[in-house]
Structure 1
Amino acid sequence: MKIWTSEHTFNHPWETVATAAWRKYPNPHNPAVIGTDVVERTVVDGVLHTHRLVSTKWYFPKWTQALIGSAKVCYASEKSQVNPNNREMILNTINLTFCRHIAVNETLKYVPHPGDPEKTLLKQEAVVTVKGVPLNNYMEDILTNKISLNAGKGRQAMEWVISKLDSEVKGIASSNLIHQTKKSLDDITTSAKKSMDDISLKAMKSLDDIHNLANSPNHQEI
């Protein structure tokens, strides 16, 4: 059995990182993950519980395939809890494919950084166990190194998703600004038109008054 642990700090608030974690796949940094499907989702005491099926492609060396078999698509069960009140998100993933010989139990925990609440701390742990095949220690090392490599790609993917979220927010803000500007211009145009109409009416009334005064029987020229 091999245990791999890691910690990483995101320079973003917990709410942003938690949102990005939901929208992490698909992304160009983790092409091995080809799909996620929600199996069940419930809310208990304000905590969101979600069970997802994750589809991936694992590229094992040919000699390992001879020992554990091969599969075009590998599946894993992911169960998560999101507690917005405590600002905590925990994801636990266990492989379903090759589980006769390989067990990979991975946990990710996102919490506000204890030193800076505007940052997010990711605590990651993976327990790898290979049994029933030769060279099990060597295979555990291979899997652990693969997990470490994928973790780095996963962090890059999170930053990529957060960047997309920022672009979407800016796009919405820009759209609202354009809408507000257009409305302001429409209001100005409407106000200006109303003012011109009022001026025209007053001018016409003045001309009518002058005309009436000129044609009045009591009008006397000097």
Structure 2
Amino acid sequence: MKVFSSSCTFDYTWAEVSTANWRKYCPWNDKTTHVTAVDTLSRSVDPETGILRTERLITCKQTVPAWVRSILGGSETSHVHEISYVDPKAKKVTMVSTNLTWSNILSVRETVTYRPDQGNKTRFGQEAKITALCGGWQKIKTKIEEASVERFGENAIKGREGFESVLAMSRRVFGEEVEKLQVAM
């Protein structure tokens, strides 16, 4: 198993970030054009804690080389299962994503958190545990995991850039609603 981790601070309030998070795969985010559908499977609020739990299926167009698909089978479509928890009291968003496609070959479990930081900023944390499931071929397994971590890191940079554009657009378009939400909290 290899682990990718990163963190950064967004120059936006927790209310802005936690609200914009639901729009990160929107059409104006040119960094997520590979996402073809986001389906909400379930959504509930715990009456005791106030935590919003949402389960989603994210459908993407894969960028796996055609020769790999021809050897291993499969299509250009991949699916990711995501469960998120929004805790309004603790002001924390946690999202846990797991790949469903090719999970018998490569398992990726990503955890993302958003928490308030000093000066009306929001701290972003990301960790991905990547495990190649190739039996006893340790050298191949290690190479696959290393390549996957490297690619995950490249995609993480694009993801942050795209989310920054969503945050900026959300502030321009939805600024009043976010201010009302902040006052209510």
TM range (shorter): 0.7 to 0.9
C-alpha deviation, 1:36, in angstroms: 0.6
Maintained 8 Å contact 2:81/2:99: yes
Cα separation, 2, equivalents of 1:67 and 1:106: 26
Q: Which amino acid aligns with 1:157?
A: G
Q: Which amino acid aligns with 2:113?
A: K
Q: Which amino acid aligns with 1:38?
A: T
Deviations 1:157-201 (A, max 9, x none): 1111112112214699xxxxxxxxxxxxxxxxxxxxxxxxxxxxx
Unpaired runs of 5+ in structure 1? 173-222
Q: Which has the larger radius of gyration?
A: 1
Cα separation, 2, equivalents of 1:53 and 1:71: 17
Would you tell me which structure has more helix in proportion to its own residues?
1
C-alpha deviation, 1:68, in angstroms: 3.3
Would you tell me which structure has more strand in proportion to its own residues?
2
Equivalent position SS for 2:120 = strand
Cα separation, 2, equivalents of 1:131 and 1:67: 16
C-alpha deviation, 1:124, in angstroms: 0.3
Maintained 8 Å contact 1:30/1:150: no
Q: 1:89 aligns with which of 88, 93, 98?
A: 93
- Other-structure match for 1:5: 5
Cα separation, 1, equivalents of 2:144 and 2:68: 8
Would you say 1:154 and 2:137 are equivalent positions? no
Maintained 8 Å contact 2:16/2:171: no
Unpaired runs of 5+ in structure 2? 178-185
Would you say 1:145 and 2:126 are equivalent positions? no
Matches within 5 A, 1:35-74: 35-44=37-46, 45-74=49-78
TM superposition score normalised by structure 2: 0.85
Q: 1:136 aligns with which of 138, 141, 146?
A: 141
C-alpha deviation, 1:145, in angstroms: 1.4
Maintained 8 Å contact 2:110/2:126: yes
Change (3 A) 1:144 1:33: same
Q: Which amino acid aligns with 2:8?
A: H
C-alpha deviation, 1:125, in angstroms: 0.1
Change (3 A) 1:66 1:129: farther
Q: 1:167 aligns with which of 172, 177, 183?
A: 172
Which shifted more, 160-169 or 44-53?
Answer: 160-169
The CA RMSD measured in Å over matched residues stands at 1.9
Cα separation, 2, equivalents of 1:138 and 1:65: 18
Does 1 or 2 have the higher relative contact order (CA < 8 Å, sep 6+)?
2
TM superposition score normalised by structure 1: 0.71
C-alpha deviation, 1:117, in angstroms: 4.6
Q: Which amino acid aligns with 2:59?
A: S
